Amino acid sequence: MTGQKGEYLFLYLLLDEWSRKAIQWRIAWHQSAAESRLLLEGALAEQNILDRPADQRPEVINDRGRQMKAKPIQRLCEDHGMPQLFARPRTPNDNPFIESAFSTVKRAPEYPGRFLDDDQAIAYFKRYFTWYDTEHYHSGIDYVTPQQAHDGLRPGIVKQRRVQKLAQRRRRREENQKQKTGTGKINKHITMPAPFVA
């Protein structure tokens, strides 16, 4: 949203469903096939997708907006061997990952709600997506950052956490056993809650 009534800025976002990383994003004054094409071409170049074999290229899942159904976008996907899939009409849960990402954007404490112009929006989202990809521990991917998941570090991080958790449980159990055998009984501390005053 902008400061002017009826004037909107649009956030174009390309999200990797597997890692939840924001692969590419753009701010634009209008929804158009040209903006969608710039978004996709930027992601293809930045992520080296065209260097992958055709059978390892990603599927593009998007809403049914006319800018994504436009012939130039369809041709771009066909030319690069990337299947283009569309959500069902009026069914946002067909692509819950992007809906969740947009919800996270709007609930961020620093989100201003309105932007004076596209420069202010670009500056905000540059900071936001840096935080989102590299600092935000995502609940949907075992509380690792999207960048860690994208780099393939998620299994190692999760495994290391499990090992540390088991070691901590073992240490607690050993400490409890020492307390039992050292004093002959477990030292129990009973605390009474303070009375509630209405």
Q: Stretch 48-63: mean pLDDT, rounded?
A: 82
Fold of 10-150: Nucleotidyltransferase; domain 5 (3.30.420)
The answer to whether 12 touches 25, Cβ cutoff 8 Å, is: yes
Which one has a higher pLDDT value, 12 or 180? 12
Cα separations (Å) of 75 from 13, 20, 31, 78, 140? Answer: 20, 26, 18, 5, 33
pLDDT, position 198: 44
Average pLDDT over residues 34-53: 87
Q: Pick the range with the lowest mean pLDDT from 10-14, 53-57, 106-110, 159-163.
A: 53-57
Angle at 44 between CA 73 and CA 56, to 5 degrees: 95
Mean pLDDT of 77-93: 80
Decide if 58 contacts 83 (C-beta within 8 A): no
- Can you tell me the distance from the alpha carbon of 35 to that of 40, in angstroms, rounded to the nearest whole number? 9
* Cα→Cα distances 96→18, 101, 102, 156, Å: 12, 9, 10, 26
User: Given CA atoms 59, 63, 65, 67 in this order, what sign does their dihedral have?
Assistant: negative
Which pLDDT score, from 0 to 100, does residue 127 have? 95
- Where is pLDDT greater, at 181 or 30? 30
| Cα(42)–Cα(39) distance, integer angstroms | 5
pTM of the predicted structure, to 2 decimals: 0.74
